[in-house]
Chains A and B, each alone.
Chain A
């Protein structure tokens, strides 16, 4: 009888455990104050540049909570505009708010810089191009220089694509990689494109992620390498990388690491920055906010968030030719 009683006790205790569930999720809400508060919290605890951007994020909280309390409860457009306004204070191209009806974006990081890119002028150079994966390529200057244009690191290419491009450029003295107006994309593609220009595995930068809610809670720096072990074909002749202010995010990382490649020169305008790797999170209203989350550095442990200054600064002034491509041709020829 005692055994039976023990068994019943054990079963009863196990049943009670199912009552342990606590409501830990954030409930869906369109309330402006709740959403501004949640957005502020996400940035405060997860954004990696709160300190370095020099923004007084605590005062932003008070200002925008006060504004939110005056908003009507069911006006998503007004709430979106207010959230976007708050995020704009960070002046970061990686900070966006995604909603079904709009996407917030910040333009202050490129507004004051020259465009340094003209798609129509570029067509003069890309006349007889081929396309391998997402890479446009052709030869310039009487087939003596190879030219590759890569418009987005979001578009993939393969090792076979690079193999055929390098094969087509076998007789060239040098190579131009044009990543102007390339807004970034997949960081893996940036490493894949850079690796053939390195003769050995080499540190090309560092990154660190947040480890706590404090503005300065970061992990130790972790080295990033240009990995040559999977490279099928290597380029040993001069290479010139063209960039402008719209060379952003993964493109900025590519430009940064190419500074440490063998025989590489960076030409054009200051790159766009966006060194912080972005991540996303959801707000109580279901909108997604994207923000810089992982800090990235160059090999000298300098933050690349503000962009890379090229070895040769060139601005486009001519209306009948691309001055930056011309400068690259001149550099390779010399």
Chain B
């Protein structure tokens, strides 16, 4: 067992050492978030539910590699890509304080964006497409044959943001604002009158094409990255607004979270596969 652990440690260290000599900066953020939420799910109840939520997430971004065929043409020089994965849980109570709802949400996505830079790279504006997929399982505690509701969907979004780097006495800062909104995708809406017995049948038939005409998603993040001598931290706030439905059913989510995260960079050498 000791041998295996030793081999694993040596392997990880050697990979890190190789990475340290490399040229592409890969930035990773591991974050926790907590905050308040509002949800309306008229499949389950006409009343709005509010409460608190907690979650964890991982986010990374890096420039596109320049050692690919496309990269060598120089067209990707100002492009970067980003990936996110968030898992959260929430507990909400209705406005009459007579019933509880619990939800688990998992959302992941990947996007690419073009950077415009000014002031010696200290001011950046970026814009690009982002693809997101996720699901939420919502459980209502007092019910008959309707305990659950599912939000399942995937969206192609427009992502944009601005980032400004500045320096303090012993610390450098980066202020980021990011916004994403949906353009087109697919979402799932159960029949208003279906019990959960029936929900399990014909799920695929309940998917529909979604876009700004029937589905609104807006996600904002305002964060401040603080680089101390030995570590980099992120604090911020994020807000999420989702509203979609059909003639009978409406799903609305508002979430406001405080985010605290730890950031680290590592370098990826050209021609090295991770």
Contacts and interface: CB of A to CB of B under 8 A. Distances in A.
Contacts of B254: 21
Interface string A11-48: 10011011011101111100000000010000000100
A22 B193 CA distance: 24
A215 interface: no
A21 B252 contact: yes
A253 to B, nearest CB: 12
Contacts of B259: none
Nearest to A98: B142
Given A282-B45, A287-B98, A288-B99, A18 B220 contact: yes
A209 B198 contact: yes
Interface residue tally on A, bucketed by range: 35 or more
Interface string B128-144: 00000000000000111
Interface stretch (A105-113, A125-133, A192-200, A272-280): A272-280
B197 A187 contact: yes
Contact of B99 (A7, A282, A294): A282
Nearest to A100: B98
A27 B48 CA distance: 8
B142 A11 contact: no
B144 A280 contact: yes
A292 to B, nearest CB: 10
A278 B145 CA distance: 7
A5 to B, nearest CB: 12
A41 to B, nearest CB: 10
Nearest to B194: A209
Given A18-B241, A280-B146, A286 B116 contact: no
Contacts of B125: 4, 7
Interface string B189-232: 00111110110010000000000000010101000000000000
Interface in B70-128: 94-99, 116, 125, 127
Contact of B197 (A20, A277, A284, A290): A277
B31 interface: no
A231 interface: no
A210 interface: yes
B46 to A, nearest CB: 4
Interface in B215-258: 216, 218, 220, 239, 241, 243, 248, 250, 252, 254
Interface in A259-281: 277-281
Nearest to B196: A279
B62 interface: no
Contacts of B146: 279-280
Given A7-B160, A25-B46, A287-B98, A279 B144 contact: yes
Contacts of B243: 20-22
Given A46-B193, A282-B47, A293-B195, A3 B250 contact: no
Contacts of B181: 14, 17
Contacts of B94: 28, 282, 286
Contact of A280 (B98, B145, B218): B145
Nearest to A218: B193
A119 interface: no
Nearest to B182: A17
A21 B45 CA distance: 18
Given A286-B98, A286-B99, A294-B198, A280 B142 contact: yes
Interface of A: 3-4, 7, 10-11, 14-15, 17-18, 20-22, 24-28, 38, 46, 98, 100, 187, 209-211, 213, 222, 277-282, 284-288, 290, 293-294
Interface of B: 40, 42, 45-48, 94-99, 116, 125, 127, 142-146, 158, 160, 162, 179, 181, 191-195, 197-198, 201, 216, 218, 220, 239, 241, 243, 248, 250, 252, 254
Given A17-B216, A211-B193, 9 more contacts: A14-B179, A20-B243, A21-B254, A25-B95, A98-B142, A280-B143, A286-B94, A286-B98, A288-B143
5 contacts: A10-B127, A15-B179, A282-B47, A282-B94, A285-B96
